[in-house]
Amino acid sequence: MINFNEILQTNEMIDAQHLDIRTITMGISLLDCADADITVACRKIYDKITRRAERLVAVGEEIESEFGIPIVNKRISVTPIALIAGACGETDYTPFAVALDNAAKTVGVNFIGGFSALVHKGFIDADRNLIASIPRALSETERVCASVNVGTTKAGINMDAVRLCGEAVKEAARLTAETGGFACAKLVIFANAVEDNPFMAGAFHGVGEPECVINVGVSGPGVVYHALQAVKGEPFDVVAETIKKTAFRVTRMGQLVAREASARLGAPFGIVDLSLAPTPAIGDSVADILTEMGLSNVGAHGTTAALALLNDAVKKGGVMASSHVGGLSGAFIPVSEDAGMIAAAQSGLLTIEKLEAMTCVCSVGLDMIAVPGDTPAATISAIIADEAAIGMINNKTTAVRIIPAPGRVVGDVVDFGGLLGTAPVMPVSRGESADFIARGGRIPAPLHSLRN
Amino acid sequence: MRAIVTVIGKDRVGIIAEVCTLLAARGVNILDISQTVMQEYFTMIMLVDTAACNVPFGELSRDLAASGEDRALSIRVQREDIFEAMHRI
């Protein structure tokens, strides 16, 4: 039998250290839903999602109750809509977003991802329509998340797409000005996007994926933070070992839940995403882990090294605990969703420049960052280009989820509520990038893309 | 199916009897009990078999929690697998 202390330790992790399953995400292929008539296509999409995911929330709650582990979110990712929408003659794809939103509401999931286009090498006509539809689609729906992949290590960076995405971000902010540009919190611009990511807002169901699949995202920054408090002052070898052991335990739990959910929902298990995803709750912060390593605040010199160690140790610990690891797997650094990051950004100790450096070693990128409302579209595009370049050159996923909050200036705070948290408006460089972005074309793939 | 029942709260007379009565009424068999009192706090862990349980697991879980709340105890039941997964390779 499992011993006394192990049981109490597990329950303490759940009760006091915010251990949870962050998301069970069902990926659903919509490739068979294309139709020349947009109304028919939307009905097929709604019907398929509500049929496939009918029991998703109920099963999540069953598992939650039986194992006594909170499952915070139940979500859905679908085939990038640009691939489906091209079959109809319309150019405004907002109805597809509405169909997704309605399906999400019917089955009771809080987000549905996949209003997406993959344009890293070039556009099909539907991709351009989709990107142009993003601002309206996100401002007129509640639960739909959009993403665009603008670059890969193999293909380089599509700078025309980078320009369009910067404009889409600005327009999405304008359309939701009264909520601080909330639509932008549901839009991710990727480089090297992964096809099996269970985390929002960037989840979509890739074309190489099966008909229907269950992916699980684990979390647990509070557990890692707590474990590190027991090794104060010890060398980094000990820190790394401690993180690995903790990540192993957390991931084993994710694997167990993924297997159960997959069996009960009759959909194959895809991957466990080993991510440390913070929430705005006190004690559920990635920033706290970095400061526990000996930094006065996140953003201090040494932050990048601390994050690199954390990201690597989480993967090493988790990889043996799951039969299939995938998604983004690493540490997330969303500013508005992490109490430690919010505090550091508010006091000016954490800047966008430092965050950019951190994205070289974490699992994603510039995430949930509010910037002044008058930031030009070209500057947003240039920020996207910088991130995409980091991803392309370093063979990693990078992303930008940035909110140019209308009417807000540096020092203001934008409150998005719930898991999305509060974002202090951070300063951006006042230098001009307009001529750079206006060039368009493609940035060629790097030499190390030629690996065959 | 095997599950772990955890009971934590301020020590007093009759806690074990109450929990056992509730479990027995629902057809849950107790396989092992381990219990201690730490700084006036009663902590009990039971290994139980729910194969013959006459209510759904979710209901058992709610009944235990509710009965605990009435007596200022934290009572929860969880499938054993979660602990196996976290602590055994």
Domains and CATH numbers, chain A: 4-191 (3.20.70.20), 217-246+274-449 (3.20.70.20)
* Rounded (to 5) percent helix, strand, coil in chain A: 45, 20, 35
Cross-strand bridge partners of residue A28: A78, A212
Cross-strand bridge partners of residue B46: B5, B33
pLDDT band at residue A1, thresholds of 50, 70 and 90?
A: low
pLDDT band at residue A96, thresholds of 50, 70 and 90?
A: very high
Flag whether residue B87 sits within 8 Å of chain A, measured between CB atoms. Answer: yes
Q: For residue A200, how far is the Cα from the chain centroid?
A: 5
> What does the DSSP 8-state code read for residue A335?
G
Cross-strand bridge partners of residue A18: none
The mean pLDDT value of chain A amounts to: 95
List the one residue out of B49, B1, B58 whose CA is nearest residue B24: B49
- Which residue in B50, B60, B83, B89 has the most chain A C-beta atoms within 10 A of its own C-beta, making it the best mutation to test that interface? B83
DSSP A226-237: HHHHTTTT--HH
Residue A169 carries which side chain, given as an amino acid letter?
Answer: V
Q: Which residues in A lie closer than 8 A to residue B4 (C-beta atoms)? A: 2, 7
Percent of chain A with pLDDT over 70: 100
Predicted confidence (pLDDT) per residue in A352-411, tens digit:
999 999 999 998 899 999 999 999 999 999 999 999 999 999 999 999 999 999 999 999
Q: For residue A410, how far is the Cα from the chain centroid?
A: 25
Q: How far is A58 from chain B (nearest CA, A)?
A: 12
- For residue A451, the model assigns a pLDDT of 87
For residues A327 and A217, the answer to whether their CB atoms sit within 8 Å is yes
Q: Does the model's ipTM exceed the 0.95 cut? A: no
* pLDDT, mean of residues B3-16: 91
Could you say which of B45, B61, B86 has the minimum Cβ distance to residue A249? Answer: B86
Predicted confidence (pLDDT) per residue in A197-223, tens digit:
999 999 999 999 999 999 999 988 999
Q: Which helix (H) or strand (E) covers residue A250, if one does?
A: helix A236-265
pLDDT band at residue A272, thresholds of 50, 70 and 90?
A: very high
Across the interface, do B86 and A6 touch by the CB < 8 Å criterion? yes
Q: Which helix (H) or strand (E) covers residue A247, if one does?
A: helix A236-265
* pLDDT, mean of residues B28-46: 90
Q: Which residues in B lie closer than 8 A to residue A1 (C-beta atoms)? A: 32, 47
Determine the 3-state secondary structure of A426 from DSSP: coil
Across the interface, do B83 and A10 touch by the CB < 8 Å criterion? yes
**Residue numbers of A between 61 and 80 with CB closer than 8 Å to B:** 62, 65-69
Across the interface, do A68 and B77 touch by the CB < 8 Å criterion? yes
- For residue A16, the model assigns a pLDDT of 85
For residues A295 and A303, the answer to whether their CB atoms sit within 8 Å is yes
CATH number of B2-87: 3.30.70.260
Flag whether residue B84 sits within 8 Å of chain A, measured between CB atoms. Answer: yes
- Which residue in A19, A67, A71 has the most chain B C-beta atoms within 10 A of its own C-beta, making it the best mutation to test that interface? A67
Q: Which residues in A lie closer than 8 A to residue B45 (C-beta atoms)? A: 4, 7-8
Across the interface, do A67 and B47 touch by the CB < 8 Å criterion? no
Cross-strand bridge partners of residue A404: A371
Flag whether residue B43 sits within 8 Å of chain A, measured between CB atoms. Answer: yes
- For residue A421, the model assigns a pLDDT of 92
Q: Give yes or no for residue A427 having a pLDDT over 70.
A: yes
- For residue A352, the model assigns a pLDDT of 96
Q: Which helix (H) or strand (E) covers residue A225, if one does?
A: helix A221-229
For residues A77 and A198, the answer to whether their CB atoms sit within 8 Å is yes
Instruction: Please state the domain extents for chain B.
Output: 2-87
Contacting residues for A410 by C-beta, under 8 A, at least 6 apart:
A372, A425, A426, A427
Predicted confidence (pLDDT) per residue in A14-61, tens digit:
988 889 999 999 999 999 999 999 999 999 999 999 999 999 999 999
Closest residue of B to A320, CA-based? Answer: B89
Distance of CA A150 to CAs A65, A356, A382, Å?
A: 41, 18, 13
Under the phi-then-psi rule, with left for phi > 0, alpha for psi from -120 to 50, and beta for the rest, what region is A257?
A: alpha
Across the interface, do B82 and A2 touch by the CB < 8 Å criterion? no
Distance of CA A43 to CAs A49, A95, A96, A98, A420, Å?
A: 10, 10, 9, 11, 30
Contacting residues for B80 by C-beta, under 8 A, at least 6 apart:
A2, B2, B3, B4, B47
Predicted confidence (pLDDT) per residue in A113-160, tens digit:
999 999 999 999 999 999 999 999 999 999 999 999 999 999 999 999
pLDDT band at residue A2, thresholds of 50, 70 and 90?
A: confident
- For residue A230, the model assigns a pLDDT of 94
- For residue A283, the model assigns a pLDDT of 86
Across the interface, do A67 and B6 touch by the CB < 8 Å criterion? no
- For residue B41, the model assigns a pLDDT of 87
Report how far residue A312's alpha carbon sits from residue A294's, in angstroms, rounded to the nearest whole number.
Answer: 18
Cβ–Cβ pairs < 8 A, chains A and B: 59
Across the interface, do B76 and A6 touch by the CB < 8 Å criterion? no
* pLDDT, mean of residues A260-270: 96
**Helices (H), ranges, A20-158:** 38-52, 56-67, 81-85, 94-107, 125-140
- For residue B89, the model assigns a pLDDT of 83
- For residue B11, the model assigns a pLDDT of 86
* pLDDT, mean of residues B16-39: 92
For residues A147 and A204, the answer to whether their CB atoms sit within 8 Å is yes
Q: Give yes or no for residue A95 having a pLDDT over 70.
A: yes
